[in-house]
Amino acid sequence: MFASYRRLFAAPGALAFTLTGLFARLSFAMTGVSTVVLIATRRDSYALAGAVSATGVVAIAVGLPLIGRLVDRYGQARVSVGAVLLAAWPTAGLLLCAHFGAPAWTLFVCCATSSVLPSLGGMTRARWAHLHRDDPAARHAANSLEQALDELCFMGGPVFAMLLCTSLFPEAGLLAGAVLGSAGLLLFAAQRRTEPPVQPPAAGPERGALRDGGLRVLVLVFAATGVVFGSMEVTTIAYADALGQKPLAGGLLALVAAGSCVSGLVLGLVRGRVGTTGRLLLGVAAMTVLLLLPLAAGVSGAGLGLLGAALFVAGSGTAPTMVAGMTMVQEVLPERQLNEGMGVAVAGILVGISTGAALGGVVAQQAAPGTGFLVPAGAAGVALLTALAGRRRLRVRPAPQVSALAA
């Protein structure tokens, strides 16, 4: 049954870069929670903690496309090593400033300047595509696996961070995340035999990846999907709190990620005949329909048990959208711009998550419990309409170099 995944790891070096990249990806999932807990504990202000964390998200969203362009031009290893060395100082500064009571503005500066690391998910997808450049089925399985690994990290990362911060000391989560991230990224960069070669630049002036019409459509779809993620998190926490069961909110959110993880793994085993554009449209449509389930459970007051089941099923609709979307990014751009393009895509998701968290918070504050699930359902509908409206731009873009389905 899992022959597709066994075949992936038969390639020399595949297991090594997957495991080392996993450590770095886990650290990214720990950063947000660790930053909030550290600052809220040391400064006794959730408002300041949230603002600093949001500043870091914005800095990442701005920096990922720029760093991706550097990876395209100079290679994964050179940029990764330089980024680790560059990020170490402001991260240490954030820990020290928070601990010793430095002015609040120092926290914003340190958090923003520490967000200079490249996208691990993009670089691992690049390696899979390079290894299986002549095998579309293997590339599909690899993208599905990467989505499942993303979900595993975002299930385990916040829990691990909270455990460290509460059982040891407030700085423990961010410190452990920095160590894991630096070590994982350096070990990942050391796997040189699976690193995709740097492609020669274009003959004329290089246009930015976002100039591509297909990528612009995909970024809008990803941004709407990010709103789904951000609003779902806030709405679920607020709903559980309204029922007096706030400690169970983490478990409910884990069910969303678990549904996406399982769906992603199963998706990698399916070899359909539908093209990437068709898979994207089907994925967004499924996500839109399935997100009506938690809305129905929340508005009807069905209780946390049924809501948990609905969230698990709804989560299974996000993986097909993400897998097809990331594959489409790889197909609409030339090989020399893929890391930049993936950075733009992830930036769109991050902007959507921040927007969704804000919208979900406003609705949860002003409306009856459960009404907030309208926000993720509505955002999925916007993603579907955007994909339908822009499908022609996606279809007219053939994969220019199939050997480079990477990010």
> For residue range 294-330, what is the model confidence (pLDDT) as tens digits?
999 888 877 888 988 999 999 888 888 888 888 888 7
Domain 13-196 identical in fold to domain 208-407: yes
Q: Enumerate the H helices of 9-45 as residue ranges.
A: 14-43
Chain Cα centroid distance, residue 50:
19
Q: What does the pLDDT profile of the chain (407 residues) look like in tens digits?
A: 566 677 788 778 888 888 888 888 888 888 877 887 888 888 877 678 778 887 888 888 888 888 888 888 888 888 888 888 888 899 999 999 988 888 989 989 988 888 788 888 888 887 887 787 777 777 778 888 888 888 788 777 777 887 888 888 888 888 998 898 889 889 998 888 888 887 766 555 566 666 777 788 899 999 999 889 888 887 887 888 788 877 777 788 888 888 888 888 887 777 667 777 888 898 899 999 999 999 998 888 778 889 889 999 998 888 888 888 888 887 777 777 777 888 888 888 888 888 887 788 788 778 787 888 899 999 999 999 998 988 887 754 444 443 333 33
Write the DSSP string, 198-253. Answer: PPPPPSSPPPPGGGSHHHHHHHHHHHHHHHHHHHHHHHHHHHHHHTT-GGGHHHHH
Q: How far apart are CA 227 and CA 41, in angstroms?
A: 28
Give pLDDT tens digits for 235-262: 887 888 788 877 777 788 888 888 888 8
What number of other Cβ atoms are within 10 A of residue 392's Cβ? 13
φ, ψ of residue 71 in degrees (nearest 5): -65, -40
DSSP label of 195? S
Helices and strands: H and E segment counts in the chain: 17, 0
CATH code for the part of the protein at 208-407: 1.20.1250.20
Radius of gyration for the alpha carbons in the chain, expressed in angstroms and rounded: 20
Topology classification of domain 13-196: Growth Hormone; Chain: A; (1.20.1250)
Residue 169: partners with Cβ closer than 8 Å, 6 or more residues away: none
Domain locations in the chain as residue ranges: 13-196, 208-407
Which helix (H) or strand (E) segment holds residue 82: the answer is: helix 76-100
